[in-house]
Structure 1
Amino acid sequence: MGLCPALLSAVDEQGYATPTAIQVEAIPAILRGNDVLASAPTGSGKTAAFALPLLQYWLEGRRDQRPRPVSALILVPTRELATQVGDTLQALAQTLPAAVKVAALFGGVSINPQMQALRGGADFVVATPGRLLDLIDHNAIDIGGTTTLVLDEADRLLDMGFADEIGRILDLLPVRRQNLFFSATFPHAVRTLAGQLLYDPLRIDVPATATDEPAIRQRAIEVDAGRRTLLLRHLLRENGWERVLVFVASKLAADRVATKLYRAGIDAAPFHGECSQGMRSQVLADFKASRLQVLVATDVAARGIDISQLPVVLNYDLPRSPVDYTHRIGRTGRAGETGLAISFVSADTDAHFRLIEKRQHCRVPRERIPGFEPVETATAPADAPSNGGIKGKRPSKKDKLRQLAARGE
């Protein structure tokens, strides 16, 4: 695919035996200088698909400049993904004949250490949009010479309301540059932005195949909403799972459920956007090391977090969209492992779960656990108008963005 020997050595050391489908198509195209609009399933190797050619670009054109100019800017939606992409770049750069400086920039932590880390510049910057703009406003970084822009998980970036920040960043970048969009889905907002920014892009669409699909067994357990925590405790005791990632709808719910489990003698902790970065890093490390049995998380943990050998994912609250459902349950059954995904379904959320099943082209049989049989009935008819999700009657910011995208605004 045109990679130099040093990068081939890095690929070998990282244990990449053969290139994935997205890498086969994307790497030569990026090396040719094409703009790329790519879609590929979770776990398809897309980070290496853009990291390897960007490293080769840098190696071929590096100059002993001080401060170092930013060669590539990679925008990501979350702190965890910023760290993960930065780590991948560092790992692949270990065999190169010159030292590469990678800066991972994100909010939730003090800005001062990141400003100090940027002294002397950086070759690669992986950043969340808000923190990048903060550092630009502090004159800590200059992106005026960037040659490549990557939007990683572009759908998530726009879905989380970063459109205004991305617009400001684009105004600061050089007009002549290479643009790479990687996205799990291509909603209207992503297509519109791609149409504005990409020049004659190569469109790469790598669908999930039977061999790509993780071995995830899905279960749907019917339970009244008020008894979900008791049922969760029962399942933890009965099955003895070493680790369980529990998804809830809000930061308040994450704190509340984690507290109830902890008081019941279960090692549990919350994980959401209002936790400090230090707390998030420590909690995630404890969970990966099995020092925590239960991580109660919002959708901030649905993407960009790779937890090896995670046996169970449980939807305490259903996600708003089928796409979010796919990313949630995709945290288990990774790298050839098998996994279990459980969803709690109440009378009021049954219609929403049927929609998820329809979009996923699957049917998950309903189960009832003795002693936890539901008695409640739906408070609204199944054909009632959509209220924009299951978390409440008022549409959220995400719902409003989806509505604007659907209308083409």
Structure 2
Amino acid sequence: MSSNQKKEKIKMLDNNQLLRFTTAGSVDDGKSTLIGRLLYDSKSIFEDQIESIEKTSKQKGHEGVDLALFTDGLRDEREQGITIDVAYRYFTTPKRKFIIADTPGHIQYTRNMVTGASTANAALILVDARHGVIEQTRRHAFIASLLQIPHIIVCVNKMDLVDFSEEAYNKVLSQFEEFSSKLLVKDVRFIPMSALLGDNVVNRSENMSWYQGAPLLHTLETMHISSDVNKVDARFPVQTVLRPQREGFIDYRGYAGRISSGVFRKGDEVTVMPSGFTSKIKTIDAFDKELDEAFAPMSVSITLEDDIDISRGDMLVRSNNKPDASQDIEVMLCWLNNAPSKPRAKYSIFHTSNQQKAMIKELVYKIDINTLQRKEDEAELKMNEIAKVKIRTTKPLMIDSYRENRTTGSIILVDDATNETVAAGMIV
């Protein structure tokens, strides 16, 4: 390959659209094997890695390459005493760049799926063709729905163990469709596959001629990605106030942070929340230059024409488009901690750059994962349970619903005594 061809290829890869997807499934559904097959058959693994895996596979007595070993680095790290909840894998094809968030399958690690799925464009939910849709499948699908992941791909795996039966595949499809019809999911696709043998992962299966759809990689490469950034509602949470004391910056007072959504331009009238004072944007400064406009998710410093008392946790918004400023919020909460929630216990709530003290005032109802029925008159939340709750904060938070704005619509709760993250929530 010539130097120019290499440059063109690098330029093409740089311009490729990025797709983030998470994998979820119960224990032994074949997630590690699927990721290994995806990387191996798409030629996204270095030769020395392949040689090492082939050597290890032989030492373990495997006839071929043990694809699950491509994620063994995670297990090795755990053996060294390092805890990693979500493992990220990166690979590129000529059509698209990918980030895989690989989450553990054990039920006690369901909370980790919330972490891995929070920024995903798509969710791969693995189902063992022999066992069909089980409780963990429903839980993962429900969390994907709550997080508003636009695409769900149900990978009906281990088809080789049911003799590539179309009847077995249709049974799983029917089970999942019956459940998912109650969820707010825009796009659900089904792919029968054998990750172990490579059927319908990267290459089409010769064993399932009855399946007329595309294999997994082609589906991921051609899937439409819509931006999850709210481009309408301008929100700028202030992270810090810049007062550099050096020549040329003596009178500089900038408000630094990352734009959560929308667009800000020089001369725009903005309101500082929660105080309600208004001013106009004087300058928008990036690292090395001044900008006429900035948009999410850029990190910038904004100066105003008026001297207003602003500190971390305040928010700059368009004066004609304000979020709600409230101390009482309703949240769909996923409980992440081993210890159950305590009635009216106090926690720290983190929302954008804002941190306040908060209390769970009321547990409105829990969700039964199997039936999606609401369970009322419940006193506490246990690990992995999902519920609608009412939270009271000491000072107002500037909030949008999660459906409108992922950034300003999400919160986490931290136990002050242990400093552990106990819950993650989506504002309704």
**Pair in the same fold by TM > 0.5:** no
Where is the strand percentage greater, Structure 1 or Structure 2? 2
Where is the helix percentage greater, Structure 1 or Structure 2? 1
Pick the structure with greater CA Rg: 2
Which of the pair has the greater relative contact order for Cα pairs under 8 Å at 6+ separation?
A: 1
